Amino acid sequence: MTRRGLCQPIGERPAQARQQLTDETVLEAIVYIIFCVPTGFRGVNRRMSFLGTFVPALASTPLLVLPVLFFIGPSRRVEWCPRE
């Protein structure tokens, strides 16, 4: 404890601890977005399109949006394409 009665982090200054927390938070956000992008691409040929799957994946989690894609039918463009 310091003279004022406040505890200090052991081995670090408060500014350094805040900087480390900020760096970790940014890294976690980038990793989360990287996991959401493939979910969006999975919805390209679905009725919800890329943004219709990417934005809900960002808002909730990709693990909730991916099962929804299995129940949503393909887009009309893909559905009515003649097979070659």
- The tens digit of pLDDT for each residue in 18-57 reads 666 677 888 899 999 999 999 899 888 888 889 988 999 9
In a domain, 6, yes or no: no
> What is the domain range of residue 38?
17-79
Which residue do the tokens 């081995």 mark? 11
**7 inside domain:** no
49 within a domain of the structure (yes/no): yes
Closest CA relative to residue 52, chosen from 63, 61, 64, 39: 39
pLDDT for res 37? 93
Question: Structural domain tally of the chain?
Answer: 1
**What is the rounded average pLDDT of the residues 67-78?**
77
* 67: in domain: yes
Question: What is the distance between the alpha carbons of residues 15 and 17, in angstroms, rounded to a whole number?
Answer: 5
> What's the pLDDT score for residue 58?
92
DSSP state of 72: S
Nearest to 54 by CA among 45, 63, 43: 43
pLDDT band at 72 (very low <50, low <70, confident <90, very high): confident
Burial class (CB in 10 A: 0-12, 13-18, 19+), 4: exposed
Q: Residue 11 domain-assigned?
A: no
- The reply to whether 10 falls in a domain is no
